[in-house]
Amino acid sequence: MTKINRKKLLKWLNNLATTILFAVLIGMLFIVVSAKASGGKPEIFGYQLKTVLSGSMEPNIQTGSIIAVKPGGDMTRFQNGDVITYMEEAEKLVTHRVVDVMNNGEHVMYQTKGDNNDAPDSNPVLSENVVAEYTGFTIPYLGYLVNLSQSQNGAFLLLVPGLLLLGYSGFIIWRALKEIDPDKMEKQQQNGENGSLSS
């Protein structure tokens, strides 16, 4: 590889690394600020981000993933095959698939089941307890970071990419200074002074 090609490759890699670090920093900032602003429920464009803590919906939704759910609307609209997020008990949300819809007088209830479970859930879900519909959007493993961002020390997530970016910037500056040839700089300064005298 020629010296020029090597320099181009290094410059491209430097730009790529800087872009990735900035993207990570912005992503972390969004997660932390969004979680704090919405009371621990990150939200974007009306979709809430939820963390999956069990493997009941694997392989479609893996443990540690984050999923996007759409809250609101008529909670009696769901049919077999829809995936809903509902309140199973206080402070406990579950995301399972509807396998049966039951009308009980004025109430609509859903029989639900985790895709990875052998049997349906023991208790039907009242439509009033459904909080959102799963949109099909999931990002594996990012849920662990979201959980951490919702903790009291979540703001420290910003330190990691921030320190990486700061350290990387310092390294680039150090390399640039190291490549400067003192003799060459002195010659350039002398040439500049000579040029100013002759004019």
Give the catalytic positions in this structure. 54
Q: Beta-strand (E) ranges in 105-195? A: 107-113, 125-126, 130-139
Residue type, 141: Y
Distance CA 170, CA 168 (A): 5
Cβ(70)–Cβ(46) below 8 Å: yes
Phi, psi of 14 (to 5 degrees): -60, -45
The DSSP element (H or E) to which 103 belongs, if any, is: strand 92-104
